[in-house]
Structure 1
Amino acid sequence: MTDYPSAPNPGWRPEQPGQVPPPSAGWSGGPGGGTPGSPGQGQPVCPRHPDRVSFVRCQRCGRPVCPECQRQAPVGVHCIDCVRAAQKQVPAQRTVLGGRITPSRHPVVTQVIIGINVALFLLGYVVPGLTWNLMFAPVVGETEPWRIVTSGFLHAGIFHIAFNMYALWIVGPFLEKMLGRWRFIALYLLSLIGGSLAVVVFSAGPSADSWYQGVVGASGAVFGLFGAIALVLRKTGRNAQQILVVIGINVVISFVIAGISWQAHVGGLITGGVLGLLFTKLPRERQHVGGVIGVVAVAAALVAGFVAMYAVK
């Protein structure tokens, strides 16, 4: 069945068969009532679509709402404007550590980081000197500080990148969900930078070979995630024993196997542990502001560490 806006003179009866009834006031089908198909004067029209007559009204604001703008509600319908306004008023759901719960279930940041690492690894086979120009060594840290970060997205071989990306995929999504995206990014990057700082700290200076030894890999950042996740697991009441065993094994491997930068691993682990402690100890109502202040403080401490080390080396 179709509801029409109004009927022309419902009390009228034809005097002769086939006689056409005269239009009523405001009817949209004849003289004085507008053009055919357009709303007449005084008829309720949708605010978003003034050419559409509607006798259905929003249960919240009371305005007419056309079928396109109707949104089903527990009682009646709401207009699209009221629905959007209500969505803005609902506070975002958050995890116990303040991470914002989003509709997307995909760990976007973790996936992007893995994608960048894989892309640069493959690009290294195409662009000559890419790894050499982006790797970090203490000798270039003062004049080319961007290498402090870029080195963390390079890898020396297929097994190197495979291990690091697998470890990142194991712990990254959980931390990204619990901490939220921006704190997860801060944790990853600052742990990476902390690993590079440790390489400078434990180097004997320009007189030693280690001052000129280049390092690459996401291991410092991954160890930072290890340090943070152990504290996050404890905070959320989960068993942290397994991750502690994994951390212990990897620390031992760092010292036993030649060619591994144990300095970067230790530096990343310490930085991640400090940030993890900060994120898990803040009261819930202060997690956002306190988290920002804490991240800025750690970043400033790392910068000060680099400045101090290059001043005394």
Structure 2
Amino acid sequence: MDQAPGSPQGPQDAPSLPKCYRHPDRDTGISCTRCERPICTECMISASVGFQCPECVRTGSGTGHAPDANRPRTIAGGSITDDSFLVTKILIGINVAVFVMVLALGERFLAETELIGYAYSPQLSEIVGVAHGQWYRLVTAVFLHQELPHILFNMLGLWFLGRIVEPALGRSRFIAVYLLSGLGGSALAYLLAAPNQPSLGASGAIFGLMGAFAVLARRTNIDMRPVLIILAVSLVLTFTRPDISWEGHIGGLVAGALITLGLVYAPRDRRTLVQLATCAAVLLLILATVVGRTVSLT
């Protein structure tokens, strides 16, 4: 930013870095991902995302008798739990269970649950799709896989990203990011793809976790280059491989990034309100997209 004429700014006017709360004589640009207090390089302890201070590490692994006000929290204000990847494991289990149902029940089950905008289904001998009132397809398609390589690739991505994002956000916020990202991917696919073009898979939700990972890396001052490389490779594959719903990937990526921005940058005194408002705003945008597309098709 250029300086205004007549307002010279010298080194003495430059804003100073915060001081480490344990070493007040040391400047630092690093903060604890749990309590958000500034910490120097001597105090920082590596965590799954960012760094934590010695006190949070010590109390986080204690007996749990600390008062709620002093209990360590994630960077988004979520509770620290013993099993940091429980939701990730449950989501993988749900996806695998639905895949087994696809193998067992066949094409008819697929025709009833995949994402279709508006089309005639030979398997069901009727008009089907979101525009026909079957809004549940926006959700069921997120957990649906038809081929073994598809579910293997997506579950590996969910396991890798879930082990980073879930501990950083907490369980409830992680669920919100995953589900709303999946819905965001479904909504954009419904809006832009041909109305009779079916799509399915957890890729939209997983791209949402990728967007969350990028925001978390920026928030915790992690080197962004590895994150950007992963994101760039994923986007290249999205637009170069055949039979890929790029709309679902981009919709999930944008939704996940927007929600995580609201989660981790919310001011602490109004954190819950801002986080709920962010999730509600994304959900309303998704609903408006679906309603608008439905009106245009019907």
Same fold (TM over 0.5): yes
1:191 alignment counterpart: 181
1:180 aligns with 2:183: no
Superposed displacement of residue 105, structure 1? 2.9
Instruction: Give the counterpart letter for 1:310 in structure 2.
Output: T
1:96 alignment partner in structure 2: 75
Partner amino acid, structure 2, of 1:117: N
Identity of aligned residues (%): 35
1:293 aligned partner: 277
- Paired residues of 2:78 and 2:172 also in contact (CA < 8 A): no
1:3-82 matches, cutoff 5 A: none
Alpha-carbon distance in structure 1 between the residues aligned to 2:232 and 2:146:
23
1:277 aligned partner: 261
2:189 is the counterpart of 1:163: no
Counterpart check, 1:141 vs 2:130: yes
The alpha-carbon deviation at position 87 of structure 1 amounts to 5.5
- Displacement over 3 Å in runs of 4+: 86-91
Deviation at 1:90, TM superposition (A): 5.5
CA RMSD after TM alignment: 1.8
CA contact (8 A) 2:75 2:264 kept: no
Structure 2 unmatched runs, 5+: 1-62, 119-128
- What secondary structure is seen at the aligned counterpart in 1 of 2:292? helix
The answer to whether the 8 A contact 1:190-1:271 is kept is yes
Structure 2 CA distance for aligned equivalents of residues 227 and 244 of structure 1: 10
Select the residue among 80, 86, 95 that pairs with 1:108: 86
Paired residue for 1:223? 207
Match of 1:125 in 2: 103
- Quote how far apart the aligned CAs of 1:88 are: 5.6
Return 5+ residue gaps in structure 1 as ranges: 1-82, 204-209
Q: Distance in 1 between matches of 2:91 and 2:83?
A: 17
Structure 2: distance between partners of 1:178 and 1:237? 14
Gap change, CA 1:189 and 1:304, over 3 Å in 2: same
Relative contact order: is structure 1 or structure 2 higher (C-alpha 8 Å, sep ≥ 6)? 2
Contact 1:96 1:284 in 2 (8 A): no
- How far is the alpha carbon of 1:281 from its aligned partner? 1.9
Scaled by the length of structure 2, the TM-score of the pair is 0.71
Distance 1:289 1:92, change over 3 A: farther
Deviation at 1:92, TM superposition (A): 2.9
- For residues 273-297 of structure 1, the C-alpha deviation after alignment (integer angstroms, 9 at most, x for no partner) is 1112212221123222211121112
Instruction: Provide the rounded CA distance (Å) in 1 between the counterparts of 2:222 and 2:199.
Output: 35
* CA-to-aligned-CA distance 1:93-144 (integer Å, 9 cap, x gap): 2022212112x13411110000000111112121232222111111111310
Distance in 1 of aligned mates of 2:171 and 2:84? 11
Asked whether the 8 Å contact 1:97–1:284 carries over to 2, the reply is no
